[in-house]
Chains A and B, each alone.
Chain A
Amino acid sequence: MNIFRLAGDMTHLFSVLVLLLKIHTIKSCAGISLKTQELYALVFATRYLDIFTDYISLYNTCMKLIFLGSSFSIVWYIRRHKIVRRSYDKEQDTFRHHFLILPCIILALLINEKFTVKEVMWTFSLYLEAVAILPQLVLLQRTRNIDNLTGQYIFLLGAYRSLYILNWIYRYFTEQHYVHWITWISGLVQTLLYADFFYYYFHSWKNNEKLQLPA
């Protein structure tokens, strides 16, 4: 495992921890899109089907369990927890996330490396992860005041994606036969979605201002 991959996984892990910290300690999910969190839960549930069939490493299995557990518990918190659910802004979080799922299923059925259940599900999870952040970004546009933890959560997610691209470039040059168009293109699309957010995030950081996105 190279340094970019490890740093990518760690920023991904930190992003989840930041979100859980916000929800668990402050008992608030203000500014967090339930739609995006539900899509992530679906992404991990369809991607990590191999958890019981293919053993890669202890690290790999543990991380998979953490991402599965955390994504479902975040959804549970926002939907069911008696205090947290009150801070959920249902009126603002209106992105029709179900409409993202069907195109991803069709695309995964048409464009995949192997037409098997596990492979199609895995490909579906890649396509869905690429667009899963959209409801969150739309909600962010609508929320005038973005709190620090929410801003950091999205920054860490974007950093995780960027580091994965560096990891692929590194692996391409250091490993033989390392060509994965589906992973790379969907990963690149996903990272580009953060470009706008990054621009305003660094802008506010540079000027030491509170993060605000233009309406």
Chain B
Amino acid sequence: TKDESTKDEL
């Protein structure tokens, strides 16, 4: 699965 973790940044 693709990591979406930057989307939690502003």
A residues contacting B by CB (< 8 A) are 5, 9, 12, 50, 54, 56-57, 60, 63-64, 67, 113, 122, 164, 167, 171, 175-180, 183
Complex Cα–Cα for A25 and B9 (A): 31
Q: Does B5 lie within 8 Å of A60, measured CB to CB?
A: no
Q: Does B10 lie within 8 Å of A63, measured CB to CB?
A: yes
Of A5, A67, A113, A177, the residue contacting B9 (CB under 8 A) is A5
Complex Cα–Cα for A122 and B10 (A): 11
**A171 contacts which chain B residues (CB < 8 A)?**
5
B residues contacting A by CB (< 8 A) are 2-3, 5-10
Complex Cα–Cα for A9 and B3 (A): 22
Q: Does A177 lie within 8 Å of B3, measured CB to CB?
A: yes
**A179 contacts which chain B residues (CB < 8 A)?**
3
Q: Does B6 lie within 8 Å of A183, measured CB to CB?
A: yes
Q: Does A60 lie within 8 Å of B8, measured CB to CB?
A: yes
Q: Does B3 lie within 8 Å of A178, measured CB to CB?
A: yes
For residue B10, give the distance in angstroms from its CB to the closest CB of chain A.
5
Q: Does B5 lie within 8 Å of A67, measured CB to CB?
A: no
Please, which residue of chain A has its CB at the minimum distance from the CB of B10?
A63
Known: A67-B10, A113-B2. 20 other contacts (CB 8 A): A5-B9, A9-B10, A12-B10, A50-B7, A54-B7, A56-B7, A56-B8, A57-B8, A60-B8, A60-B10, A63-B10, A64-B10, A176-B3, A177-B3, A178-B3, A178-B5, A180-B5, A180-B6, A183-B6, A183-B9
